[in-house]
Amino acid sequence: MDMKILVVGGGGREHAIARALSRCNGLQLFSVMATKNPGISQLAKKTLIHKETDASGVVGFAKEVGADYAFIGPEAPLEAGIVDDLERAGVACVGPGRAAARLETDKGFCREMMARHGIAGCPNYRICHSVDEAVSFIRDYGGELAIKPIGLTGGKGVRIMGEQVDAAGAISYVRQLGGNVVLEERLIGEEFTLQAFVDGSHLVSMPLVQDHKRAFEGDTGPNTGGMGSYSMPDHMLPFVSRKDHNTALDIMKSIVAVMSKIQEPYKGVLYGQFMNTADGPKVIEFNARFGDPEAMNVLSLLTSDLGDTVARITEGSLSSARVRFENAATVCKYIVPEGYPDAPHAGDKLTIGHPGTALLYYANVEDRDGQLFTRNSRTLAFVGIGPTLEGAEKSAEGAASSVEGHVRHRRDIGTTDLVNKRCNHMKELR
Ligand code: AMP
Ligand code: GLY
């Protein structure tokens, strides 16, 4: 198969997409990203350093290199309507158009659609458009709520009552946001991620992953874009039953069916973030793209041809028989600059000691003549792979702890202790 694919985005997720594509025969890779990712630029035949949300620049480059396909990594270009513009220019895309991407970019749209079409797993919610409306809802509700800005915040905009804020803190946060918020029932349980390739009507699901949003060990500190994640050899998680998995997948199938029914067919990668509660999985949110770090877990296990999947997503001919993932455990650990996420310190030197067998994915890092320097977001990630979670964790941890510089990572991700804690929590709830 001869195909030219443009990968849009320059993080760890896009490095994983680019590496999986680079394993395909007869495929030429091109890249556009805001800052240079040394891993992606090494794999790409040609790279454009350019604002990813500037559709005309991206379309111009796609045409210049003769790209047949584009794979959109991050959400911001989806929100900017890059898929609509690329498709008008004849480039087939993995990623939804602007209207269908509202599933992620407009939390109000997502909740209203779930409620209107009776899709299971929707928590109680209220979409507010003024400070007064939000404040009186918080006062009258009585229980704990999640406070979410309506638009994109890189996963960092949510405040949970009983965790980060009390009622007074919730009210002042709502004021700070000008009242445009979604208020949701606080869900209690264990989070998991289910990602699927989608071609408008068919879904092909990927191994379950658990991400770690909090900055510090023991799930403390501020929310981040994700500090790391793990997956199990059977592609399940020990606190998610087959029934829970089926429920989550059915919810995602219903979403895709409804999007098609309302004439906004969804194609690309659909990311479901679920809270496994005492009553089964509830939807925290959907993303219109791969998760970062979760893409690194699943794509490191992909043994089938991602180029073939790309073509099938755009043609509407996806088939689970043609997508295969290795039965191994993965543990991904992100190295981040000191001070991340609140006051990340950029421009610090870092050195990788002994990566061992772990895979290295570059993210927001500068390579100056072979010397690496931090920028102000997540720096790079290691993925350990092995027949057991313990082995995968050891591999990722060994690589991560060999990095020297003003950087840190979460040592607890993928450890037996932390996974047992999650299982015990689930047992207590059920
Ligand atoms: P989001 O930006 O929607 O992914 O939310 C960020 C994080 O906030 C999630 O990973 C959850 O840990 C938490 N969160 C979001 N919504 C809720 C909710 N309704 N109940 C409890 N926690 C939530
Ligand atoms: N890991 C969460 C996200 O990509 O939104």
pLDDT digits (tens, 9 = 90+) for 52-97: 999 999 999 999 999 999 999 999 999 999 999 999 999 999 999 9
Look at residue 267 in the predicted model and tell me its pLDDT: 98
Which atom belonging to ligand 1 lies closest to the Cα atom of 155?
A: 2
Last residue of a domain, one of 62, 97, 132: 97
Residues 196 and 176 in one domain: no
Closest C-alpha to ligand 2, atom 3: 291
User: Does one domain contain both 229 and 360?
Assistant: yes
Please tell me the total count of domains within the chain.
3
pLDDT-derived band at 161 (thresholds 50, 70, 90) equals very high
Looking at the CA of residue 213, tell me the nearest atom of ligand 1.
Answer: 10
Q: Are residues 145 and 239 in the same domain?
A: no
Instruction: Convert the pLDDT of each residue in 186-199 to its tens digit.
Output: 999 999 999 999 99
Distance between CA 238 and CA 38 in Å, rounded? 36
Token pair for residue 176?
Answer: 């700070």
**What pLDDT shows up at residue 152?**
76
Residues 335 and 277 placed together within one structural domain of the fold: yes
Query: Crossing angle for the helix pair 389-401 and 416-429, nearest 10 degrees?
Result: 130
Is the distance from CB of 6 to CB of 70 less than 8 angstroms? yes
User: Does ligand 2 lie within 6 Å of residue 75's CB atom?
Assistant: no
Q: Is residue 325 located within the same domain as residue 218?
A: yes
The CB of 52 under 6 Å from ligand 2? The reply is no
- Does 259 lie in the same domain as 179? no
Residue 155 has pLDDT above 70, yes or no: no
CATH number at residue 134: 3.30.1490.20
Query: Is residue 413's pLDDT more than 80?
Result: yes
**Using alpha carbons only, what angle is made at residue 255 by residues 15 and 306, rounded to the nearest 5 degrees?**
30
pLDDT given at position 150 = 84
pLDDT higher than threshold 80 for residue 1: no
- 37 domain-assigned: yes
Q: Is the peptide bond before 341 cis (omega within 30 degrees of 0)?
A: yes
Does the C-beta of 287 come closer than 6 Å to ligand 2? yes
Q: Which structural domain, as residue segments, surrounds residue 149?
A: 124-185
Mean pLDDT of the chain: 96
Q: Quick one: 364 and 218 in the same domain?
A: yes
Q: How far apart are CA 234 and CA 329, in angstroms?
A: 8
What is the number of alpha carbons within 13 Å of residue 370 lying toward its C-beta? 0
- Judgement on whether residues 363 and 325 belong to the same structural domain of the protein: yes
Ligand 1 neighbourhood includes 37 CB (under 6 angstroms) = no
**In sequence order, which residues have a C-beta less than 8 Å from that of residue 3 and are 6 or more positions away?**
26, 27, 28, 68, 69, 307, 310, 311
C-alpha to C-alpha distances, 175 to 40, 180, 287, nearest whole angstrom: 41, 9, 26
Per residue in 115-141, pLDDT (tens digit) is 999 999 999 999 999 999 999 999 999
Q: Is any atom of ligand 1 closer than 6 Å to the C-beta of 213?
A: yes
pLDDT at 220 over 80: yes
* Beta carbons of 388 and 233 less than 8 angstroms apart: yes
Looking at the structure, do residues 275 and 397 belong to the same domain, yes or no? yes
Whether 341 and 202 share a structural domain: yes
Residue 25 CB contacts under 8 Å (≥ 6 apart), including other chains? 1, 305
Ligand 2 close to Cβ of residue 337 (< 6 A): no
Q: Are 364 and 11 in contact (CB under 8 A)?
A: yes
Same domain, yes or no: 319 and 253: yes
The pLDDT, as a whole number, for residue 398 is 98
CATH of the domain at 67: 3.40.50.20
Which structure tokens are listed for 353?
A: 């000691």
Q: What is the average per-residue pLDDT within 386-398?
A: 98
The percentage of the chain sitting over the pLDDT mark of 70, rounded to a whole number, equals 99
- CATH number, domain containing residue 279: 3.30.470.20
Q: Which two tokens stand for residue 230?
A: 């793990």
d(CA 81, CA 103): 14
Same domain, 70 and 140: no
Residue 365, H or E segment: strand 365-368
Find the ligand nearest to 273 CA: 1
Q: Using the atom order of ligand 1, give the atom closest to the CA of residue 184.
A: 19
* Ligand lying closest to the C-alpha of residue 152: 1
